[in-house]
Chains A and B, each alone.
Chain A
Amino acid sequence: MRTEFCRSQSRYLLSMVLACCTVGVCGSAALAQDLAIKAGKIITVSGPTLENGIIIIRDGRIAEVGADLEIPVDLRLLDATDKVVMPGIVDPHSSAALNQANERNAVVPFLSVVDGIDPMRPYFEESRRNGVTTAVVVPGNSTMIGGQASIVKTAGIYVDDMLLLRSAGLKLSLQPPSGSRMSHIARLRRELETAKRQLAEAAETPPVTPEPEKPAPEKPAPDQPPSSETGAVESSDSGTVQDPERTESAEGATETPADSNAAANQAVKDLLTGKTRAFIYCQNAADVGQAFRLMDDFKFNAVLVLGQDCYKAAGEIAKRNVPVILDPTLVYWKRDPVTRLDEKIVLTKLYQDAGVKFLFQSNDSDSRQSLGSSYFWFQAATAVRYGLSREEAIAALTLEPAKALGIDQYVGSIQAGRDADLVILTGDPLDVSTWVDQTLVNGKVVYERKTDWKLKLLLEAQPQ
């Protein structure tokens, strides 16, 4: 180990000379956030786990990952040789970033969480503290058509700086806030029918054929050329944060009521034309069937947000390749109303046995309790206790949600080209005594345990 280190150091001397030349030629010194992380262990998720690996970060992205990389001299070195590095956690469904998750009006597809996200909410601070680097902010579970979800990074002051994907999907809820389920579903169908009919009418006049949607990154990926002009125009639908679209949404604010109707329908139309997906909240197993019927009848994709009782539809869910997000309370007891007998429900095990891949979500609560389901590591560890493999559990926190939301080319794994969203842990991610030591978003350290006064105070072992 040590001799190897010395050898590599002598190599650095050589490379230093080279590096000086390179810098001279390019005329661009390394950016402040460029750095190299020397890690005791790297859980890449997409590839094999590396012991004693190196991650090189340039311009906010992972440039290289490997066991035997040379560290360029121009890079700041972050020593994590006694630590474990994993990709930042992706929270696939949270309303805790919003001051108010639900609307009184039942049909509000024209709303976007972008206008409601408050980066100062405790949710974001807690997220960084707990290694969550990407959050899918979704309207609440009790509005029929609740508005549009967005995907943000968890660090920033202005929501526009945090956006990864502006239009990440439309929230639908199958839980009637009050009254009859029949009328709730009927009204939802009517809204979708209207949009479908308008689309068909518009199709009679030759439309501008929309490209199949690919979420565009906030910044172009290093291996891709910057977005072409057409790309930027298209992105107004797909929801990037590039300037043309920002201007457009600013105009949207001064719409007349008629325009606002059009905007209302536009979000639903985007769903029906496959530009976005739906997040469908299913309160119970019957709602899962309703969700599948809607998806089939109106031909759209969806992520299902499952209430506790939905496990009864696990077999049906397994037949379809649809991502599902579990209720944060993974283990609970249920009393049979007739026999009064208690049954222990372990959601992860029931879904796993049925062959369903699942995602976790954080508990939507500002005042996080000391115990339990508020924490992703705790949820993943609980799933492992009931039979999920550790690898699957870690993937369910990182790469799987990224894939489910179509952002896996940006986040969810440690490999070249991905955003440098990393969590540096004091030990194994599922170990009870492991803490997040540092969290990086886009290559910047956005959380450091040693300067976290709040955590220090909570854990201070000296009475004041």
Chain B
Amino acid sequence: MKDQDQMHQFKLLGRVCLFACAMWAGWNNSAQCAEHPISGRDGQQATLIQAGVVHIGDGTTLRPGMVLVVDGKVQAVAEKIESTTEMQVLTVAEITPGFIDAASSVGIAGGAGEVTSEVTPDFVVADALDFQDPNFARQIDSGITSIHVTPNTDNVIAGFAGLLKTGGTTPNWLQRETGLFLSMCNDPTGRNSSRSRPETLYVRQPTNRMGVVWILRSRLHAAQQTDTEPSSVSAVSTDQALSDLVQGKTKTYAVSRTAYDIETLYRIANEFSIRPVLVGGDEAYKVIDLLKRENSSLIFTSLSTRSTGTEQTELRWSSPTMLAKAEIPFALAGDELLNQARIAHRFGLEPTAALAAITSVPAKILGFENQIGKIAAGLDADLVAFRGDPLQVTSAIEWVMIDGQIYSNGKGQ
């Protein structure tokens, strides 16, 4: 309940911010559109998009359908909307919601791991984000309109991820601190590159996977013992952040790929009553019953990145299909979202589920289903226009819209 309250507060805050942004954007448009080609809509406040197929994102479609965009928001979606002379009318073959990458590393400047400590719960990715990183343009070009920038997995308790739009001239944060990332996997054991030189200062724990569990458990246990005052999620002290975590005030994400890591993760999670969103999940297909029992949500990254080395996870191309069958909510994430959805479909996932896994499902898992992830009245106008069936490799993206602004080839128009 508490974390829901917290989330609610954040959402409210987010909405206020967005409202302010929208106000600013509106003023900006009317006042100085010529100087701002990125945000300028040349006074065209309303855009009507006529599409052969509108993929709503939640599994439903309109064939044909129309989407009315006003001031960066979708104002109406229907089979038929009358156009007026003030509207800019665009005709496209098919349209989907903008894609949401729920586990991305784009734009983190100066490295995402910390060598001097394995527990860094007060680290915030948003503080290291370089919005000028040209990779954002690449994300836009491939239809990704929102990204969840996550810390890397070198640290056992790694830090806070942030959710932002890929478009705009300045970072448009949906939430600067979405949740705390834990690494319940082998990765933290590999961080110690100086193991062969034990005299160095940088010999860090853990050095094996048991050590990962030990650090996680002992630090959470210590946090449970200390009595601290409740505080905001953006607590600056490590102790405070850990305390918030064990008190259930912080949304948590945990990276686990192998079946044994996933099992361990839920064992620890239950000991401390935390409800992590599972990230990774390469072998999730082996523990489907557990995931169902734990009511898990999964950010599945194994279609784009296949873990190797010590984890040696066994690959199943049908993992997304199995998760869908078991009705476990999962997002496809990592990289190349559209190709992931296409390939997941190739491997047996229903087309609607494949599209949902990169739109409405990640929005829901991240707690922003009322703002992004669907083409629906009141939601952000984040859209991807296609020249054909989005799930066909032969179909090109015509343009991408973020908050009502059209981009093509990753660039604003």
Contacts and interface: CB of A to CB of B under 8 A. Distances in A.
Contact of B322 (A333, A341, A463): A463
Interface stretch (B33-41, B113-121, B161-169, B393-401): B393-401
B346 A432 contact: yes
Interface string A323-349: 000000000010100001110100000
A381 B393 contact: yes
Contacts of A432: 342-343, 345-346, 391-393
A369 B343 CA distance: 11
Contact of B134 (A342, A371, A433, A459): A342
B393 A430 contact: yes
Interface stretch (B17-25, B100-108, B196-204, B310-318): B310-318
A396 to B, nearest CB: 14
Contact of A340 (B134, B317, B318): B134
A161 interface: no
Contacts of A370: 303, 306, 315, 317, 343, 347
Nearest to A433: B346
Contacts of A453: none
Interface string A376-398: 00100110111000100000000
B288 interface: yes
Contacts of A458: 315-318, 347
B286 interface: yes
Contact of B410 (A342, A386, A460): A342
Contacts of A384: 393-394
B347 A431 contact: no
Given A371-B339, A458-B316, A463-B286, A341 B134 contact: yes
Contacts of B266: none
A370 B319 CA distance: 12
B343 A371 contact: yes
Given A371-B303, A458-B315, A459-B318, A378 B393 contact: yes
Contacts of B141: 344
Nearest to B287: A463
Contacts of A381: 392-394
Nearest to B347: A459
A459 B316 CA distance: 7
Interface string A349-379: 0000000000000000000011110000010
B146 interface: no
Contacts of B393: 378, 381-382, 384-385, 430, 432
Contacts of B288: 463
A461 interface: yes
A84 to B, nearest CB: 15
Contact of B138 (A333, A430, A462): A333
B64 interface: no
Interface in B338-372: 339-340, 342-343, 345-348
Nearest to B389: A432
Contacts of B394: 381, 384-385, 390, 430
A342 B134 CA distance: 6
B137 interface: yes
A384 B345 CA distance: 20
Interface residues of B, number: 35
A229 B138 CA distance: 62
A371 B392 contact: no
Q: What band does the interface of chain A fall in when counting residues whose beta carbon is under 8 Å from B?
A: 20 to 34
B409 interface: yes
A342 B411 CA distance: 10
Main SS class of interface, A: loop
Interface in B113-143: 134, 137-138, 141
Contacts of B286: 463-464
Nearest to B315: A458
B336 interface: yes
- Chain A CB within 10 Å, residue with most, of B321, B325, B392, B396: B392
A462 B392 contact: no
Nearest to A372: B339
B318 A344 contact: no
B253 interface: no
A381 to B, nearest CB: 4
B132 to A, nearest CB: 9
Contacts of A335: 134
Interface string A99-139: 00000000000000000000000000000000000000000
A333 B134 CA distance: 10
B140 to A, nearest CB: 11
B99 interface: no
B409 A344 contact: yes
A380 to B, nearest CB: 9
Contacts of A371: 303-304, 336, 339-340, 343
A231 to B, nearest CB: 45
B359 to A, nearest CB: 18
B181 interface: no
Contacts of A385: 393-396
A390 B316 CA distance: 31
Contact of A463 (B285, B336, B346, B348): B285
Given A385-B396, A432-B392, A461 B318 contact: yes
Interface string A422-434: 0000000011110
Contacts of B315: 370, 458
19 contacts: A333-B134, A341-B134, A342-B138, A342-B410, A372-B336, A372-B339, A384-B393, A385-B396, A386-B396, A430-B394, A432-B342, A432-B343, A433-B346, A457-B316, A459-B321, A461-B321, A463-B285, A463-B322, A463-B326
Interface of B: 134, 137-138, 141, 285-286, 288, 303-304, 306, 315-318, 321-322, 325-326, 336, 339-340, 342-343, 345-348, 391-396, 409-410
Nearest 6 A-B pairs (CB), nearest first? A381-B393, A342-B134, A458-B317, A384-B394, A461-B321, A381-B394
Given A430-B392, A458-B317, A462-B322, 9 more contacts: A333-B134, A335-B134, A370-B343, A378-B393, A382-B393, A430-B393, A458-B347, A461-B348, A463-B326
